[in-house]
Structure 1
Amino acid sequence: MHDTLEAFAIQLIDLSHPEPDGSRRLIPERELCARLDVSRGALRERLSQLEYIGVLSRRQGHGTYLQAPGPDVIRTYFTTMRALGFLDSTEIAEAREMLETVVAVQAARRATAADAERLRALVDEMVACTAAGDHDAATEADLAFHAGLFRIVDNPVFTMVHTGLAYALQQAMHERRARAIAAETPDADGRTETDTIHYPVVDAIAANDPDAARDAIRRHFEIHSLITLDTAEEAPA
Structure 2
Amino acid sequence: MTELTIRPQRAAEAVARHIETLILEGSLTPDEALLPERDLALRLNVSRPTLRDGLKLLQDRGLLVGERGRGLRVAALGRVAITDPLVALLADHPEVEDDYLDFREVVESHAAGLAAARATPLDRDRITAALDAIEAAHAAAIPENEAEADAALHQAIYEASHNLVLLQIMRALSGSLRSNVAANRGRMFTLPQVRDHLRSQHRAIAAAILDGDSQGAGAAAHAHLAYVRQAARDIAQAQAHGETARRRHSSGGLGQRR
CA distance in 1, matches of 2:208, 2:223: 12
- 1:103–1:153: 8 Å Cα contact kept in structure 2? yes
1:176 corresponds in structure 2 to 184
> Is the CA contact 1:181–1:192 (under 8 Å) kept in the aligned structure 2?
no
Q: Which residue of 2 aligns with 1:73?
A: 80
Say whether 1:112 aligns with 2:120.
Answer: yes
Q: Residue 112 of structure 2 contacts residue 217 of structure 2 at CA under 8 Å; is this kept in 1? A: yes
Aligned-residue identity in percent: 24
Residues 71-107 of structure 1: per-residue CA shift (max 9 Å, x gap): 2433423752334549822222222222212111111
- Which residue of the partner structure matches residue 132 of structure 1? 140
> Are positions 1:231 and 2:235 aligned together?
yes
| Residues 152-211 of structure 1: CA deviation (Å, up to 9, x unaligned) | 12322112211211323432332222232334437xxxx621222101111111111110
User: Which residue of structure 1 aligns with residue 193 of structure 2?
Assistant: 185
**Number of corresponding residues:** 187
Does structure 1 retain, via aligned residues, the 8 Å contact 2:114–2:161? yes
Secondary structure of the residue aligned to 2:158 is helix
* Larger fraction in helix: 2
2:23 matches 1:19: no
CA contact 1:180–1:228 (8 Å) conserved in 2: yes
Residue 208 of structure 2 aligns with which residue? Answer: 204
Q: How does 1:32-181 map to 2 (within 5 A)?
A: 54=62, 70-77=77-84, 80-83=88-91, 85=93, 88-181=96-189
Relative to structure 1, is the Cα distance of residues 105 and 111 closer, same or farther in structure 2, using a 3 angstrom cutoff?
same
What stretches of structure 1 move > 4 A for 4+ residues in a row? 50-53, 55-58, 83-87
1:194 partnered with 2:194: no
CA offsets, 1:20-64, max 9 Å, x none? 12449xxxxxxxxxxxxxxxxxxxxxxxxx979826889xxxxxx
Query: Which ranges of structure 2 fall in alignment gaps of 5 or more residues?
Result: 1-8, 19-57, 67-73, 243-258
TM-score by length of 2: 0.60
Partner of 1:3: none
Distance 1:52 1:198 in 2: 42
Residue in 1 that maps onto 2:21: none
Partner residue in 2 for 1:39? none
TM-score normalized with structure 1 length = 0.64
What is the one-letter code of the residue matched to 1:199? R
SS of 1:74's equivalent in the other structure is coil
Quote the RMSD (CA, aligned, Å).
Answer: 3.6
Q: 2:62 is paired with a residue of what secondary structure?
A: coil
Secondary structure of the residue aligned to 2:81 is: helix
